[in-house]
Amino acid sequence: MPPITSDAGTSDAATPHAAASDLAAPDPAVSGVAVSASVPGAEGFRARLDLAPSPTVVATASPSHRVHAVVVVRPDGRAPAAFHLKRTLASLQEQTRRPDALTIVLCGGDERLADIVAGAGADFVVNAAASTGFAAATALASPEASRHEAVWLLAQDTAPEPDALARLAGALELSPSVAFVAPKLVRWDDRSEIVSLGIGMTRYGRTVGLADGELDQGQHDAREDVLGTDVRGILVRGDAWSELAGLDRGLAGADEGLDLGVRARLAGARVSLVPAALVAVAGDGAAGLPAPNTPQRRRRIVYAERVAQLHRRLAYAPLGALPLHWLSLLPLALWRTVVDLVRKQPVRIGPEWAAAVVVFVRLIAIGRARRRIAVTKRVPWAQLAPLRISQSELRERLDDEPEIALGGHRRGDLHFFSGGGAWLVLGALVVSVASFPALLAWPVLGGGALQPLANTVGWLWDEAAFGQRSLGLDTVGPADPFASVIAVIGTLAPWDPSRALVVLWLLALPLAALGGWLAATRVTERPLLRLLGGATWALAPTFVVALSQGRPTAVILHLLLPWLFFAGSVAHRSWSGAGAASILLAAVVATAPSLAPALAVIWLLAILLAVVLRAGRGVARLIWTVIPSIALSLPLIWNAVANGRPWGLLADPGVPWAGPQVGTDSAGRALLAAGIPTPDLAGWTTLIPEGPTWWVPLLTAPIALLALAAPLTQRWAVGTALLVVTALGMGTAFAAVGISVAFSQSIPVAIWPGAGLSLAWLGAVGGALVTLDAGLAPRVAFIRGIATVVVLAAVAALAVPSLTAMTRRTATIANGPESTLPAFVAAQGRDDPDVGTIVLTPQGEGGVSAIVVWGASETLGGQTTMLSTRTRPTAQDAAVAELAADLVSSSADDVVAGLAEVGVSFILLAPAMPTETDAARTMRLSASTALNQRDTLDSVGDTTKGELWRVIGEVAPRPREAASVVTTARLIAIGQLIVLGIALLLAVPTAASRREARRTPRVVGPHWQEGQ
């Protein structure tokens, strides 16, 4: 086609009143002929436009418009761009009413696209920079369009149907008051799905697609007038295009058609749809927003949409409200950050802030947009109100959103009550009350590794913060993350935090049954197998042993693990799951640090599977799951590494207690393989001391055999994954047994292998459920019932000794004291947490251990592995040891003044170990004698906690924390609170997340692709 040169007054219309049908069927002889002429009366047309009685942008020009097609080409580095451009150019050639002129704007230097453009026979080719947006590209092409032409805006990926231009031009011709008409945009590869057919706007500027994503059944073909449209494929009257000054470049590629429609409406014109004109779009992003098929594109969409919304808000706002809107941009970004977290859309946070900053500094673009509106505005904003989307209409659209896509999945009900879950929990509660009836009256738990909790909520959380510890002469550093877990538990009963632990102990069995039942819902839909999962988890050997022995970390860990499995198994497909899993994982690692290596391996394997099987989808969610754990543990890790005790990070938190556990010999490891953590066969040797007990480890054989068979079932993938979990748990238990990284006075304390056994039990029970669920044919389903009974009976028999230990008076737990210190000290320390007491304990070999306790008591949350895992004495340790040696030595000079100087008011000579040796007795008597001989001490007397002396005279206050310590504590607290706050916001379910969850299976494992 020879080039067409034209100026602002050119037109190929010879007849001023041609019919619309002339546009649909142009004279073939005219097509392709070079025209360079001016139409008589052009100046008269301008005069009529200026003097029209109805001052609108649109004028009744000659009905036979020339159509100037503008195609913007922008390479995106992908092969489909060339294919899309070829189809678009071919579609233009196939139009029943061909464009009279074609301008192609090539953005960038892609040689392949340049060759296609060169062979397209375009009238004009404009080369532009690769960063040129669609609005700027159309501005470069618009000088070639005359005032009498209609401008057809296309891109490389907008392929019109053969009759699209004829229908658009006919509609524009029949409606002189219309500024532009828009086609129905359909999918590139499926014209039955609507991409866009009109755009509305809420009162606050939110863009609402009127038919986006719907199947085209003609349900919207009657709609004509709209507020705006997608910019792709619109046919704009030439004079309106010139008067409105084209597209707004400040919109970042989004809402360009909507903004043009708003400005046209304000100028007194209309915007109309032509649903019969179809244009297929691929979403390359050359015009409009790209298809959201990659993370980069999704971020670009969020950024462009937010820039456009904020830009329009400032452009449309009344002048008096403009400063307020401008100043609110950054605070609004902070608020929307919280909203994005609640909506489970953290990937939007970065683009949100980028958009807010860009609009905040781009004042010239805002001024240009407001000036453009002021020049053309002829009707008030109130006339646009009927075309806005009301909040009720918006809610109706959201509620009417189909929950289940065609061919999708619909999740069934949980059936907690009808499936027997509620009865299981109720039965576990009855068993718990029958097994531990005394807990109904005990105010505090004692025995084993149990201690009272701080008596106020403020003290609880102070123990969980960085700063001075409640143990040691002046120990300053990070708290164990387990202190935060204890603080959460104690806060549930703020009037008496220690009672919260008693209630937790009493509810432990039903809570474990509930957690096991919920975890089983991720493995099977069968109610019977869910009940089996809940029951076997509640009766796990390591759990019931921990209940009877008084191991709080083991009990809390066992309660947390099934919830971690429940949330973590869907963390790859749900931000709610990832948020909940991140909190639970932080609590699990804080409670059982020895599990951290095994959980890290599981996490890495999950990421690897997400990359390989899901093309990286969900990796960001999986990465987030470890962030709270790192934030909570990082201060302690830093301290441990800096002080040369990294292995101390694996120590069990809480009270160091060298309780009974299996040894490192072959018999002990055999018990570990059977899931039994104690040498008394989970209590059976005390129940039948003279009877045979060789059969006790065999009680776990049914679960073990079923778990080993899980990889051989139809659901071999999930069976294999659960078997890996079992192996990692067993490996952790075998590696931990016999390893001591902490000390209780002079006794080494080995890592509790029960933590690894709990993880292994989780995998084994899950694997057994998979075998029972998918490994049996329907015709032999009765075997499932028999196997269920056998497994449950075996596990219940194994738990009998531990559940009857309190009745038989063999349990370690007891009615614990409200304070580990004498009542006289506890009374003063209750009101003053800086009251210091040095506790001296005779040792079995004749020495004495010493520790300084601040406040009313040693507490479970106040314990710190900074002290219990030290392998080398510090200067403070040496000072305490010297003070203790001088105190128990009658020949030493008076050292009481030294105690008073560091804030210590009391000296407690505690009883020796339960089996007091002769050397310990000698040391206790000699120490008592030496202390009684000191005139500067006042003997308070014997107490149940030991002999107590009070320092006579004035005692200096406890040294205050340095300013640097306070600053560090605040920074750490702020950082941890931010991370945990984000995790909580992600974990809180919303209506949208619940709708999304209903589209995915509850049972996980058949496919990693489910829930995409």
Tokens of 285: 């992003």
State the Rg of the chain over Cα. Answer: 38
**Adjacent-strand bridge partners of 947:** 909, 942
Q: Where are the beta strands (DSSP E) in 123-206?
A: 124-128, 149-155, 158-160, 178-187, 194-196, 199-201
Q: Please answer whether residues 726 and 763 qualify as being in contact, where contact means their C-beta atoms are separated by less than 8 angstroms.
A: yes
Residue type, 293: N
Question: What pLDDT is attached to residue 299?
Answer: 86
d(CA 539, CA 536): 5
Question: What pLDDT is attached to residue 240?
Answer: 87
Q: CB count, 10 Å around CB of 3?
A: 12
Question: What pLDDT is attached to residue 488?
Answer: 96
How big is the chain, counted in residues? Answer: 1012
Residue type, 413: D
Question: What pLDDT is attached to residue 890?
Answer: 72
Burial readout 60-75 (b: 16 or more C-beta within 10 A, e: otherwise)? ebbbbbbbbbbbbbbb
Q: Please answer whether residues 149 and 165 qualify as being in contact, where contact means their C-beta atoms are separated by less than 8 angstroms.
A: no
Tell me the DSSP string of 530-572: HHHHHHHHHT-HHHHHHHHHT-HHHHHHHHHHHHHHHHHTTTT
Residue type, 228: G
d(CA 512, CA 537): 7
Residue type, 85: L
Instruction: Say if strands 235-237 and 207-209 run parallel, antiparallel, or are unpaired.
Output: unpaired
Q: How many CA atoms lie within 13 A of 52 on its CB side?
A: 16
Q: Please answer whether residues 657 and 744 qualify as being in contact, where contact means their C-beta atoms are separated by less than 8 angstroms.
A: yes
Q: Please answer whether residues 117 and 104 qualify as being in contact, where contact means their C-beta atoms are separated by less than 8 angstroms.
A: yes
Instruction: Identify the CA nearest to 519 among candidates 500, 504, 492, 540.
Output: 540
**Adjacent-strand bridge partners of 230:** none
Structure-derived torsion over alpha carbons of residues 371, 377, 382, 386, reported in degrees to the nearest 10: -110
Instruction: Identify the CA nearest to 570 among candidates 999, 1004, 991, 1006.
Output: 1004
d(CA 86, CA 108): 17
Q: Is 100 helix (H, G, I), strand (E, B) or coil?
A: coil
Tell me the DSSP string of 350-377: HHHHHHHHHHHH-HHHHHHHHHHHHHH-
Sign of the alpha-carbon dihedral angle for 894, 896, 902, 908: positive
The list of the chain residues with pLDDT below 70 reads 1-65, 76-79, 142-148, 394-412, 776-781, 891-893, 914, 1006-1012
Q: Please answer whether residues 18 and 64 qualify as being in contact, where contact means their C-beta atoms are separated by less than 8 angstroms.
A: yes
d(CA 86, CA 51): 45
Burial readout 943-952 (b: 16 or more C-beta within 10 A, e: otherwise)? eebbbbbbbe
Name the one residue in this structure whose structure tokens are 């609507």: 194
User: 480-531 pLDDT, tens per residue?
Assistant: 999 999 999 999 999 999 999 999 999 999 999 999 999 999 999 889 999 9
| Separation in Å, CA 333 to CA 289, 311, 320, 430, 976 | 22, 14, 22, 52, 22
